[in-house]
Structure 1
Amino acid sequence: MSSTPINKPSALQADKASATTSANLPEHISLSKWEDSGFEWAGQVASRSFERLNALLTTEHLQSDLEIKANLYRRNNVLHLSFTLTGEVWLTCQRCLQPIAIDLTDDYDIALLDNESQVRLVGEEQDCLLLDEIITEPAPERLLPLKKLVEDEILLKTPMAPKHDDCEMSVEQFGEIPEEEENENPFAALASLKGKL
């Protein structure tokens, strides 16, 4: 029987309430414990706490926290990870080299498939991942890498070369631009030989 995010046992609600007050996004979710009953987490997370994202962030502007609401649930016998992300990060504009705000606000829903045959149970537009491909570390229990999956989606939404819509590339010219010398056409010598043969 599939469980939905709305129907949760009261003991689980109490457990979730304590998770909501935390400011650290869990690194992993134990599927052995939560895949059938569901899991929810909400809180604010420092954008610099994501290691790969941190390498892209500008140091020229204060970074604000990202608000994340995550939900693990089952629908049509398929496990789903959905989360809502609210906030922005500051990167460096590749034209003027000044800070630029990138809005990350969006809703995400990823179907977590036990095997490829489950693809038929989800819509064509649904993002899917095979659990065997994302749970790579051997452990006594199956741990879903929640923080890594959230960071993956953030990185997909982050432009590779951010730039302001209305900025001009600042170029300073030093010295004079040398004029190109006109070279002789290499085929001109062949043309002069053509009449002689």
Structure 2
Amino acid sequence: MTNAPLPKKIDPRKLAERGVRIEGEAGISQFPNLASMLADEQGKVTVDLQFENDELRIRTIKGCAGGKVNMTCQRCLEPVEITVEANFNLAIAPTEEHAKTLPKYYDPLIVEGEELQLLSMVEEELILSLPIVPYHDDCSVQMSYGDEAAADAATDSDKTNPFSVLASLKADKQ
């Protein structure tokens, strides 16, 4: 399958037995959980996955998915374009117990039934690749935590001390 629309459901075991490669694109709107974390639904995700059996006869999924998405800059609150990319090195396992026996260089993908929601799998990996705090590299609003503390200290010194009255009473007693 090349450059066709991505299938919604696949049987990863059969695809691995046949050595199938899936390439295609999907709009951000097809990934509802990912879209909820973005500033808008503009953009596309390109997917390239190779299903195969490795030398140990383990069914694997290798490849990548990525694209450009718009997130909200946490400095200026304007949209910022972020490049997201997820790399796949998965081994298909039918159960949690079987997943524990897989070689450590694979990430286990537990597929209990015959079918797998392809877009959901890709979406989860893309979400994990999003930055925790997106921002423009050249954002004009750049206040670090140290600057914020200095600004707070400056405003505190401008305020009158509520205990200054007590100091004057103490001075009157002496």
TM-score (norm 1): 0.63
Once the two structures are TM-superposed, the CA of residue 180 in structure 1 deviates from its matched residue by 3.5
Counterpart of 2:130 in structure 1 is 158
1:53 to 29, 34, 38: 34
Counterpart of 2:147 in structure 1 is none
Structure 1, 70-79 or 90-99: larger mean CA deviation = 70-79
Residue 37 (str. 1) matches residue 18 (str. 2): yes
1:149 to 97, 121, 142: 121
2:94 to 114, 117, 124: 114
Once the two structures are TM-superposed, the CA of residue 80 in structure 1 deviates from its matched residue by 1.4
Q: Give the structure with the higher percent helix.
A: 2
Counterpart of 1:11 in structure 2 is none
Residue 22 (str. 1) matches residue 4 (str. 2): yes
Corresponding residue pairs, total: 152
Letter matched to residue 54 of structure 1: A
**Deviation by residue 1:145-185 (Cα, 9 ceiling, x = unmatched):** 211110001000012321123324379xxxxx684342439
Q: After the TM superposition, which residues 1-197 of structure 1 pair with which residues of structure 2 at under 5 Å, given as runs?
A: 16=1, 20-23=2-5, 25-31=6-12, 33-59=14-40, 63-75=42-54, 76-115=56-95, 116-117=97-98, 119-122=100-103, 124-132=104-112, 142-169=114-141, 179-184=158-163
SS in 2 for 1:36: helix
Residues 78 and 46 of structure 1, relative CA distance in 2, 3 Å threshold: same
Say whether the 8 Å CA contact 2:102–2:108 is kept in structure 1.
no
SS in 2 for 1:58: coil
TM-score (norm 2): 0.70
Letter matched to residue 63 of structure 1: Q
Say whether the 8 Å CA contact 2:85–2:129 is kept in structure 1.
no
Letter matched to residue 69 of structure 1: D
